[in-house]
Amino acid sequence: MDKVKEIVSEIKQGSPKPIYFLMGEEPYYIDRISQFIAENVLTEDERGFNQMVLYGKDTSVDEVVANAKRFPMMAQYQVVIVKEAQHLSRTIEQLVPYVENPQQTTILVLCYKYKKLDKRKKLYKAIQKKGELFESKKLYENQVADWIRRTLGGKQYRISPKACVMLVEFLGTDLSKISNELDKLTLIVPPNVEITPELVEEHIGISKDFNNFELKKAIGERDVKKASRIIDYFAQNPKDNPFIVTVTLLNTFFTQLLQYHGLKDHSPGNVAKILGVSPYFVNEYVVAARNYPMKRVSGVISSLRKLDLKGKGVGASNMAQADLLKELLSEIL
């Protein structure tokens, strides 16, 4: 995010680079930067003659260069944005001559999603010298909660740890999807208010009581009654609660629990750091470790891996999700 802020600040100060090559696995920041350039470099009147959007599927490197070499009309700059530029990957190195001598009155933006340039090639090195090369990396699941907190913090909101986990569990690591849901919340909830599980349930439709987070907690506490209720809810709502997601989350939990057992230092700060979890959730591992000795944890992980294969149709192609869930609970508890 620091790099994004640096790019935005540079453009706001009136010192844009002639080339922005935006690449990587996470499309969210690529879209945000290109949108910011599209909306802020030129005035609304200037855009009609001086802003062009091309699509990688429908254009060529030669056409991109031809448009980039034009001069602006009654404006300081012209902006050329190439969306889905990854479709030009086979010929992208042909951009080298232009990049080495770019038109200074053109801002060329290439949105190269889900791919990266080869660092050994000329184009990569040329863009580093003459323009801005930005790599948008996919966040790991354990990084998304912090991203949510920082994003909401920038808008003068707080979010409870449980509400944060609910969003990550339900929406995954897709930052665009998460951002859309956060926008919904901030339209409804006034600033300086904490986003709670109740608000997430009411406005996004994620159950605060029947989700994988609560199932994991119930299993850690060996609360058979609560875990059974959640499993029954999942069985009745399979589309909203895919078995593969549940078994993957539990496998992660028990793998972390195995790590916990192996730690010499069980202080909350060290546990949070080593396991990659919020200090708020450390007590869950303390409780679960008392209920599941190391040997039992290893057995659970082995069972979860077998169930994961069954859930994918290996050796149990006709097994209903309800039956898989019941077997999962039986194997663990």
Query: How sure is the predictor about 127, in pLDDT bands with cuts at 50, 70 and 90?
Result: very high
- Strands of the sheet containing 19-24, edge to edge, are 51-55, 78-83, 106-113, 19-24, 132-135
Asked if 201 contacts 208 with a C-beta cutoff of 8 angstroms, the reply is: yes
CB atoms within 10 A of CB 76: 12
Percent of the chain at pLDDT exceeding 90: 73
Tokens of 253: 């939990």
Give the residue among 265, 330, 254, 263 at the shortest CA–CA distance from 288: 254
Q: Rounded to whole angstroms, how far apart are CA atoms 125 and 127?
A: 6
Q: What is the pTM of this model?
A: 0.73
What is d(CA 155, CA 215) in angstroms, rounded to the nearest whole number? 31
- Residues 242, 225: Cα–Cα separation, whole Å: 21
| Non-local CB neighbours of 101 within 8 Å, separated by 6+ positions | none
17 pLDDT more than 90: yes
pLDDT tens-digit series, residues 62-104? 999 999 999 999 999 999 999 999 999 999 999 999 999 999 9
Q: How far apart are CA 107 and CA 70, in angstroms?
A: 11
| 85 token code pair | 């530029």
Would you say 251 and 328 are in contact if contact means Cβ atoms under 8 Å apart? no
Per-residue pLDDT, 322: 87
Distance CA 1, CA 211 (A): 30
Confidence of residue 316 (pLDDT cuts 50, 70, 90): low
